[in-house]
């Protein structure tokens, strides 16, 4: 497919909202970073929010006092035995549960408080060492409804999470995580892959709707590991070939549902999947590991990128080994260096025009799926734009 879109922003035509898909749970903050009596200001999907913790419970409010508009994140939890947060300006004190103003400290305890004296509250949960928020226009669904099985089933899986902030809109980052065939080129000389046979390129990517209807599974068929290009030469170039002579088992091997352990033991049919709202899963044919990438829009120009490594629990020893492997290898080789190769490119992507091509089959399908299937309180089918 070859399509030129000479518009100010190519995403205007896709129908994907600039600030992200509403009515979903998103990972927003590490639990250990939120201390008792120390509110934190965050921005998610363009909304200004303050997080605070009292009595070891987390609350989320709109970060603007209803009185004179001061930032509640500059306030304090001066009554730690309650669920309240007090504005730094005139002492208006709000319930974290309801958002109602329960006291106006500078006006005395007998002051009448109107029902309008309140701020918006946000559903909030702590799970896997992460604070999750539901940003939307409808009652929150259970958190587990938006989580893939490897993040919801803590009996079967253990996880390690990291996060980065990308200086770009969420949409190009979300596109990058689809099966768009950039890995054989961008990451071919990363420390994680440098001694591996190159990923197959020129594959044909097809997508299939997942059984639960919440996403797509990707399948890549065919592909080549090297080829000659007229008037150019061989790719990969001979200068890169010598370190690939070790011929180890290789990475990025496709999952074969007919023979893979992941399918036989766990019913996993795809190694690479995308799920609503903005979740990408990349696993192993063994079915014992998933790299879960979750894109959380901050505003129109910044995005929070959560990377959660999910390991299947087997024994106490393997759990310890998984953590050691992440600390000594995966944390810096993949979560840092590998991802930084994408970060440098994605942050500079221009969205004023694009020519979609064969390598974009996964991107095209995922964009369309999101628009047609995102949760919406009005009709349940189309996202609120």
pLDDT digits (tens, 9 = 90+) for 280-334: 999 988 899 999 999 999 999 999 999 999 999 999 999 999 999 999 998 998 8
Domain residues for the domain of 81 are: 24-127
The reply to whether 145 and 113 lie within a common domain is: no
Instruction: Provide block-wise average pLDDT over 10 residues at a time, the chain (385 residues).
Output: 55 91 98 93 98 91 97 94 95 97 95 95 98 96 97 97 96 93 85 71 92 95 87 86 52 67 88 96 91 97 97 95 94 90 94 88 96 84 43
Is residue 1 a part of any domain in this protein? no
Using the 3D structure, point to which of 87, 107, 127 is the last residue of a domain: 127
CB within 8 A of 291, min separation 6: which ones? 281, 282, 283, 307, 308, 309, 310, 334
Number of domains in the chain: 2
Q: What is the CATH number of the domain that holds 220?
A: 3.90.380.10
- How many angstroms separate the CA atoms of 65 and 89, rounded? 9
Residue 373 has a pLDDT of: 97
CB within 8 A of 150, min separation 6: which ones? 156, 157, 159, 281, 290, 292, 310, 312
The reply to whether 203 and 123 lie within a common domain is: no
The reply to whether 113 and 206 lie within a common domain is: no
Using the 3D structure, point to which of 71, 94, 127 is the last residue of a domain: 127
The reply to whether 101 and 143 lie within a common domain is: no
Is residue 9 a part of any domain in this protein? no
Of 196, 209, 370, the closest CA to residue 279 belongs to 370
Burial label for 323, CB within 10 Å (0-12, 13-18, 19+), is middle
Is residue 194 a part of any domain in this protein? yes
How many other β-carbons are positioned within 10 Å of the β-carbon of residue 137?
A: 10
The reply to whether 341 and 287 lie within a common domain is: yes
Q: What is the DSSP string of 47-116?
A: EEEEEEEETTEEEEEESS-TTT---GGGSB-S-TTTTEEE-TTT-EEEETTT-BEEEEGGG-TT----TT
The reply to whether 82 and 170 lie within a common domain is: no
Q: What is the CATH number of the domain that holds 34?
A: 2.102.10.10
The reply to whether 121 and 140 lie within a common domain is: no
How many other β-carbons are positioned within 10 Å of the β-carbon of residue 154?
A: 12
Using the 3D structure, point to which of 127, 151, 180 is the last residue of a domain: 127
Is residue 2 a part of any domain in this protein? no
Residue 242 has a pLDDT of: 60
Q: Which two tokens stand for residue 257?
A: 């549902």
Is residue 147 a part of any domain in this protein? yes
Residue 245 has a pLDDT of: 53
The reply to whether 117 and 186 lie within a common domain is: no
The reply to whether 269 and 164 lie within a common domain is: yes
The reply to whether 89 and 159 lie within a common domain is: no
The reply to whether 153 and 83 lie within a common domain is: no
How many contiguous H segments (helices) and E segments (strands) does the chain have?
Answer: 10, 20
Is residue 169 a part of any domain in this protein? yes
Is residue 15 a part of any domain in this protein? no
Is residue 100 a part of any domain in this protein? yes
pTM, entire model? 0.91
Residue 244 has a pLDDT of: 59
The reply to whether 193 and 310 lie within a common domain is: yes
């Amino acid at each position: 497919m070859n399509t030129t879109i000479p518009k100010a922003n190519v995403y205007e035509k896709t129908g994907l909202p600039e600030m992200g898909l509403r009515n979903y749970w998103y990972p927003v903050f590490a639990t250990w970073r939120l201390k008792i009596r120390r509110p934190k200001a965050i921005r998610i999907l363009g909304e200004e929010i303050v997080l605070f913790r009292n009595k070891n419970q987390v609350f989320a409010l709109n970060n603007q006092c209803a009185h004179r508009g001061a930032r509640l994140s500059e306030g304090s939890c001066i009554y730690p035995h309650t669920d309240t947060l007090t504005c730094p300006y005139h002492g208006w004190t709000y319930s974290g549960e309801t958002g109602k103003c329960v006291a106006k400290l500078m006006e005395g305890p007998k002051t009448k408080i109107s029902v309008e004296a309140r701020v918006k509250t946000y559903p909030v949960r702590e799970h896997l060492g992460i604070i999750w928020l539901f940003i939307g226009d409808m009652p929150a669904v259970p958190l587990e409804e938006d989580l893939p099985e490897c993040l919801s089933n803590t009996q079967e899986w253990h996880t390690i999470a990291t996060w980065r902030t990308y200086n770009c809109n969420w949409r190009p980052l979300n596109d990058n995580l689809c099966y768009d065939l950039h890995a054989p080129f961008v990451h071919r000389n990363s420390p994680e892959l440098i001694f591996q046979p190159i990923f197959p390129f020129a594959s044909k990517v097809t997508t299939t709707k997942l059984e639960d209807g919440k996403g797509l599974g990707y399948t890549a068929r065919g592909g080549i590991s090297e080829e000659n290009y007229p008037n150019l030469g061989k790719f990969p170039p001979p200068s890169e070939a010598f370190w690939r002579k070790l011929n180890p088992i290789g990475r990025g091997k496709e999952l074969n549902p007919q023979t893979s352990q992941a399918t036989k033991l766990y019913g996993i049919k795809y190694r690479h999947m995308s799920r609503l709202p903005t979740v990408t899963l990349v696993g192993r044919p063994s079915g014992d590991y998933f790299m879960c990438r979750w894109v959380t829009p901050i505003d129109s120009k910044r995005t929070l990128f959560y990377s959660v490594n999910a390991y299947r629990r087997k024994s106490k020893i393997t759990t310890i080994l998984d953590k050691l492997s992440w600390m000594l290898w995966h944390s810096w080789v993949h979560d840092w260096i590998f991802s930084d190769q994408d970060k440098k490119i994605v942050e500079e992507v221009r969205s004023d025009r694009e020519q979609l091509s064969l390598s974009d089959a996964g991107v095209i399908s995922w964009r369309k799926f999101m628009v047609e299937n995102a949760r919406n309180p009005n009709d349940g089918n189309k996202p609120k734009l």
